[in-house]
A and B are shown apart, each in its own frame.
Chain A
Amino acid sequence: MTGRWTLVLGAVLAGVFALAALVSLVWVPVPVETFAVSFKLKPIGTPGFPLGTDHFGRDILSMLMVGARTSIAVAIVAVGIGIAFGVPLGLLAAAQRGGLVDELVMRGNDLVFAFPSLVIAILITAVFGPSATNAILAIGIFNIPVFARVTRGGALSLWTLDYIRAAEVAGKGRARISMEHILPNIANLLIVQGTIQFSLGILAEAGLSYVGLGAQPPIPSWGRMLAEAQTMIVMAPHMAILPGLAIVLTVLGLNLMGDGLRDLLDPRLRRTR
């Protein structure tokens, strides 16, 4: 599949869930606070509840829509944290190669590779209490060194190029060169990495909320919907299948988008793929 089609397919998949999340801000088929116990555990296709209901009689379609909001919000903020701290660190590290910040960024990266991030996320949420905010922090902290590494790597290769040397000779400071010449030229790299971290963030949020360390009730989240479905799996398998499909399709969409973007933005990578 060419990069363009991969990108389109991915964008459509991810876009559906992004749209569902946006729509849920103003409208859901049935408010998720509505417990219609007499309608509990209805299967897919029940009139009024197109995707059925859960054990409290809540509408699963509405829960999935609001759940999309939770997942996407957590992942966006976590990626935002990574970019906001990681990119400046990476730029600084590359501008002062071999300096203190450079050393810090590299060692921070080693550490992140050594730590199973989920274990630390669990530790953080265990200590500070389970909540969506702490889940964001736990996921976001691990994005910082990732973006710092990508930024540093991209920037280092640019610093050797003639036009950057020319800018230096022309009297521009290293900070200004980083902002005016380096950053715009590594934006592609950052967009691709952002997409990858976004999809990893969705998976991490689902994992954390599945074990009860993410968003707390009554805020619906895909991970907790799965946790609640586990005991009902024999009576109501749709409760377990639907939120999982939502996660898979969103993550798949984002991964395809990442692949497609990389192919389009960096033709050199096409060869081996």
Chain B
Amino acid sequence: MLRYTLSRLVSLGLSLVVASLVIFAVIEVIPGDPASFMLGMNAADDTVAALREQLGLNGTLAERYLAWVGGMLLGDFGVSYTYRVPVADLIAARMQVSVPLTVYALVLSTSIAIPVGLIAAARQGKATDLAVMATTQMGVAVPNFWFAMILVLIFAVNLRWFPSGGFPGWDKGVWLNLKALTLPAIALALPQASILARVMRSSVLETLSQDYIRTARAKGLTRTQAVLRHAFRNALIPVLTILGLQFSFLLAGAIIIENVFFLPGLGRLIFQGITQRDLIVVESVVMLLVGAVIVVNFLVDLAYAAVDPRLRARA
């Protein structure tokens, strides 16, 4: 296990370095330089020069890259040009919305998908299974931001059960905020739950065709008993991998969903950064999101190896 962990750690480090290089390169290839891009076409030369100095754009490429990465490692993400506050503070404030939203959606999607997939597999070919397959086929095709709008139309505008947008802030109490995050979390969770339920179903079916299940059935277990006692745990392994991948879809999805519901999270921050040409904010938030995904996938790899010894042997 130690050897496997070490090899995954090396690849984690490499992925983070490559990701930071890609993001840095994209920002670097902007026509002109970031300072004049941020200030617009009509900026005076000395203003641009002052901003160049402030952003540290006068160094070489390597110096600038190392300063950016080094700063981030120490928790210094630079100072936002438009907000005039440290980007780290902005990110910390926005994470209080984005992280609970992502976790909420992940919990919803998993707690719906796993039982649904299990039931569909246990009743393969029956009406329940067909209904699950048809519903999840639809779920995969629905863009989450459109689903969000439909949810608003039904549950906020017509039924008035939930607010149509905005976020009261955690100091106003947990209940109000959970209510504000419920529709966005459902909108995010639906497509992911559909994918997950399908993976769960085919994974259970795959497991059910194994010899040890036949043995269990031969001992007199019913199909449902065999699914619950033997197939379920083994079928969870591929589901774990998909769950890790879904984290990145949820994060990306949250960027758009936050805009639908006017939630002050990281996604809104990126778009505000883009419209205000605040590249320091955009660059750092993107790196943070990508970094989070890479770290989560690393953790999933470790969990996967802990569950399945064959993987450790292969490393």
A interface residues (Cβ-Cβ under 8 A, vs B): 110-111, 113-120, 122-124, 126-127, 199, 203, 206-207, 210-211, 226, 229-230, 233-234, 237, 240-241, 243-244, 247-249, 251-252, 255-256, 271-273
Contacts and interface: CB of A to CB of B under 8 A. Distances in A.
A252 B205 CA distance: 24
Given A237-B153, A244-B143, 6 more contacts: A118-B255, A124-B26, A206-B146, A230-B149, A240-B149, A251-B141
Given A116-B251, A123-B26, A207-B145, A240 B153 contact: yes
A123 B157 contact: no
Nearest to B31: A128
B155 interface: no
A230 B79 CA distance: 33
Contacts of B245: 113
A209 to B, nearest CB: 11
A127 B30 contact: yes
Interface in B196-248: 202, 205-206, 209, 245, 248
Interface string B1-23: 00000000001000100110011
Given A113-B245, A116-B249, A252-B138, A233 B23 contact: no
B149 A233 contact: yes
Contacts of A122: 255, 270, 274, 286
Contacts of A123: 23, 26, 282, 286
B271 to A, nearest CB: 7
A123 B27 CA distance: 8
Given A207-B256, A240-B153, A241-B150, A113 B251 contact: no
Nearest to B198: A273
B294 A114 contact: yes
Contacts of B290: 114-116, 119
A11 to B, nearest CB: 15
Contacts of A244: 142-143, 146, 149-150
B209 to A, nearest CB: 8
18 contacts: A113-B245, A114-B297, A115-B248, A116-B289, A123-B26, A124-B26, A127-B27, A207-B256, A211-B256, A230-B149, A240-B150, A240-B153, A241-B150, A248-B142, A251-B140, A252-B141, A272-B202, A273-B202
B293 interface: yes
Given A114-B294, A116-B248, A226-B146, A248 B141 contact: yes
Contact of A126 (B145, B150, B256, B274): B274
A199 B141 CA distance: 8
Contact of B29 (A110, A127, A206, A210): A127
Nearest to B202: A272
B149 A111 contact: no
A273 B133 CA distance: 10
A230 B206 contact: no
Contact of B146 (A115, A126, A199, A247): A247
A224 B156 CA distance: 22
A233 B153 contact: yes
Contacts of A271: 209
A118 B252 contact: yes
Given A127-B29, A207-B256, A255 B15 contact: no
Contacts of B80: none
